[in-house]
Amino acid sequence: MKILISADIEGVAGVFHPEQTRAGNGEYERARAWMTAEANAAAQGAFAGGASAVIVNDSHGGFRNLLPDQLDPRVQLVLGKPRYLGMMAGVEQDCDGVFMIGYHGRAQSRGVLAHTINSGAFARVWLNGLELGEAGIYAALAGEFDVPVLMASGDDVFIAETRPLMPWVRYVETKQAGGQGSGTTLSPAGARQAIAEAAEAATRLAFTRPEARCFELTGPIKVRLQTMTPAHADLFCQWPALERVEGDLLAFEADAVQSAVRMLNSLSAMSFMLK
């Protein structure tokens, strides 16, 4: 069994402030070490549960946050960008299940550091009428490869919005949100222990009782995107495939989730023109 671990940082225990997610300061260096340790705990749990191979995908920001020399020597890493499959790169390598580590709530929720893909440009994202955050979007992308999400970790808001989409997933609550920048957290050591135990149990369960299902969306994928400002919609609608619905609302259609993800990530990259 091969497991893909997609590791983000905002849902990691102890992370509450944007400074902890941005390179160039001591707070980030400490947070990226916690992120690496949680991803490593998930990998070691997967191996303990019987996985034969683990791929770890660095899924935050520039996709260059994890500390490779702090990871179990048995893992392989997916680092850097651009990449077509974004936070789910590696799922195409004959994976059997996905772990989402350090994930967060969708934009406009009260979760810790909640956002969807680009906190400065995207306010809300709908695929086929479902408002989704990164977990839902990328779970649907994994579903196109017939790969289910088996476990996930993050704050209570992330879990509450994701559980209805994927009730079979084994969840680890690393912290409880008091708001976008506050809350109550497990210690890093406590989070690592809980993640390792959940990862091992999820992997064993996949061997003995494969009850997990894929979260799937049927194409064509109709995407609606509410931007942070009308200026972002002005910019994005330079792309002829996009339709301006309202001042800050646009729409487009894609043949599959993979195509929708590639378009959203391209729009995210375009948004830096407005900075």
Ligand-binding site membership of 173 (annotated): no
Say what the pLDDT of residue 208 is. 78
The structure tokens 């609550």 sit at 173
Q: What digits encode the pLDDT tens for the residues 33-63? A: 999 999 999 999 999 999 999 999 999 999 9
Cβ proximity of 13 and 185 under 8 Å: yes
Say what the pLDDT of residue 186 is. 98
Say what the pLDDT of residue 211 is. 72
What are the residue numbers of the active site?
Answer: 115
Say what the pLDDT of residue 212 is. 77
Say what the pLDDT of residue 40 is. 98
Which structure tokens are listed for 4?
């893909």
Ligand-binding site membership of 197 (annotated): no
The DSSP bridge pattern shows strands 221-227 and 243-246 to be unpaired
Q: Which stretches in the chain have pLDDT values below 50?
A: none
Ligand-binding site membership of 232 (annotated): no
pTM here is: 0.97
Superfamily of domain 2-208, CATH level 4:
Dipeptide transport protein (3.40.50.10780)
- How far, in Å, CA of 142 to CA of 154, rounded? 19
The DSSP bridge pattern shows strands 221-227 and 182-185 to be unpaired
Cβ proximity of 196 and 42 under 8 Å: yes
Q: What digits encode the pLDDT tens for the residues 169-179? A: 999 999 999 99
Map out the domains of the chain as residue ranges: 2-208, 221-274
Ligand-binding site membership of 243 (annotated): no
Ligand-binding site membership of 69 (annotated): no
